[in-house]
Amino acid sequence: MSSAAPAVIVGAGPAGIRAAQTLVRHGLRPVLLDEAAACGGQIYRQPPANFQRSGKERYGFEAGRAASVHEAMRAIQDSVDYRNETLVWNAEGGQLDLLRGSRTSTLAYSQLIVATGATDRVLPFPGWTTPGVYSLGGAQVALKFQACSVGERVVFMGTGPLLYLVAYQYAKAGAKVLAVLDSARLGDQIAALPALLRQPALLAKGLYYMAWLRTHGVRLHDGVQALRAGGQTRVTAFEWSDAHGQHSLACDAIAFGYGLRSETQLADILGCRFGFDALQRAWLPERDAAGRASVSGVYLAGDGAGILGADAAELAGERAALALLEDRAIALDPAAQARAALLESKLARQRRLRVGLERAFPLPRAWAAQAADDLVICRCEEVTAGDLRAAARSGGATELNRLKALSRVGMGRCQGRMCAAAAAEILAQCTAQPIALTGRLRAQAPIKPIPFALVEPKASA
């Protein structure tokens, strides 16, 4: 790494903005790279300039936090090298490969804060590739960014706090929300209450969303198993089962998701060491309490290193920036040192509270066993659950990368970002082994699709 190169932050959500703010406060001018057109990340996504919806309409209870994050960025705008609409698609030799518009470039860095955020965790069901089926995050983007509903009669399905939040946001905006179908059971939430009571504000918001939806005529069901989405050229109905039998609703849109998964591809390409997190059923890059990764000069902050939510992301971004300053031999005054200790304490508490949320909204463990052989798992390559099982049985695949080689799962445009979690569940169930032993798909450049014509072959040494 070049000592003359700048400190670089990848991601301008809550973690990235707070990291940039901290570095500016201590005299640095970092480069802040952002895929989006405007800062805020997914959670505090900003609409185009000509849209007139208020922050309260867009963010609800989180309007104050969103305004604080946006204002923090405005305050440091002239003190950072902010590059929006810029994709980091590779990292090699202390440099990042970037794509902005139709131009590629490289950027050297001295130290790097990775704040890449998260995306939907998807478990497919029959008919999920039918037009009119969206991920929860995709449905939320449509509403926040352009005030559009994904349909006129929408069903929300899956599990996790985001399920109820997005349904509430849609209903508040005037969309017709037919039902919220949660795969978790009421007993899961009751069992998690002791842990959730340690975070009363979060619990109160969740209970409020549920009560508001019920009061406004939205049907809430728990213990749901998705059966199928009906329709050919467009979704026309959704069928599911629960303890009371099978049900069907006529609808023209379905938004679904099972919580979030961390965007870890950049950390992987950087060579960070990973470990299996049993709570989130995922391989995550390892970091110390301050956010330092196993690779010197690399720091991890926010949901890209483990799902803790937007509030924790702000804390982690600030703490990672303080660690960067410490490693740069920039002296921190006693107030900053005390702040670093306080941030670590708050983050540790957030991790303990996460246990309650995962207990309240567990991933449906029977999903893999119930997935029919003709269910498409990888829509890019049209790989089915049966294809994966056949590769495991006849090809002896017990690990995801071997499964990928035999079946092409994860070889499409998403590079496994959408299908890897489901493929791992199928493989673990089929081979009767713990999911930790199935491993993880190794990230490869480009992290996200780029035009082939823009990549010039590198000269051989």
Which tens digit of pLDDT belongs to each residue from 242-299?
Answer: 999 999 999 999 999 999 999 999 999 999 999 999 999 999 999 999 999 999 999 9
Relative to beta strand 253-258, strand 153-159 is parallel
* Below-50 pLDDT ranges, the chain: 1-2, 459-461
How far is it, in rounded angstroms, from Cα 185 to Cα 89? 40
- The pLDDT score that the predictor gives to residue 50 is 77
- The pLDDT score that the predictor gives to residue 56 is 83
pTM, 2 dp:
0.94
Q: If DSSP states are collapsed to H, E and C, what string results for 277-321?
A: ECCCCEEEECECCCCEECCCCEEECHHHHCCCCHHHHHHHHHHHH
The CATH fold assigned to 7-119+261-357 is: FAD/NAD(P)-binding domain (3.50.50)
Contacts 24+ apart (CB under 8 A), 363-366: 363/121, 363/123, 363/159, 363/258, 363/259, 363/281, 363/425, 364/123, 364/159, 364/183, 364/225, 364/258, 366/225
Q: At what angle do helices 186-196 and 334-360 cross, to 10 degrees?
A: 160
Q: If DSSP codes are grouped into helix, strand and coil, which group holds residue 146?
A: helix
Q: Where do the CATH 1.10.10.1100 domains begin and end in the chain?
A: 367-438
Place of tokens 């023209």: 252
Q: Which CATH architecture has domain 122-258?
A: 3-Layer(bba) Sandwich (3.50)
How far is it, in rounded angstroms, from Cα 131 to Cα 439? 32
Looking at the DSSP bridge assignments, the partners of residue 133 are 254
Q: 374-387: b or e for each residue (b if 16 or more CB lie within 10 Å)?
A: ebbbbbbbebbbeb
Neighbouring C-alpha atoms within 13 Å toward the C-beta of 25: 16
Q: Which two tokens stand for residue 393?
A: 């049985």
Residue 261: closest CA among 247, 279, 241: 279
Q: Which CATH architecture has domain 367-438?
A: Orthogonal Bundle (1.10)
Yes or no: say if 341 and 286 are a contact pair by the CB < 8 Å rule. Answer: no
Residue 17: closest CA among 334, 320, 332: 320
Residues in the chain: 461
Provide the 10 A C-beta neighbour count for residue 171. 20
Q: Where do the CATH 3.50.50.60 domains begin and end in the chain?
A: 7-119+261-357, 122-258
Name the CA radius of gyration of the chain, rounded: 22
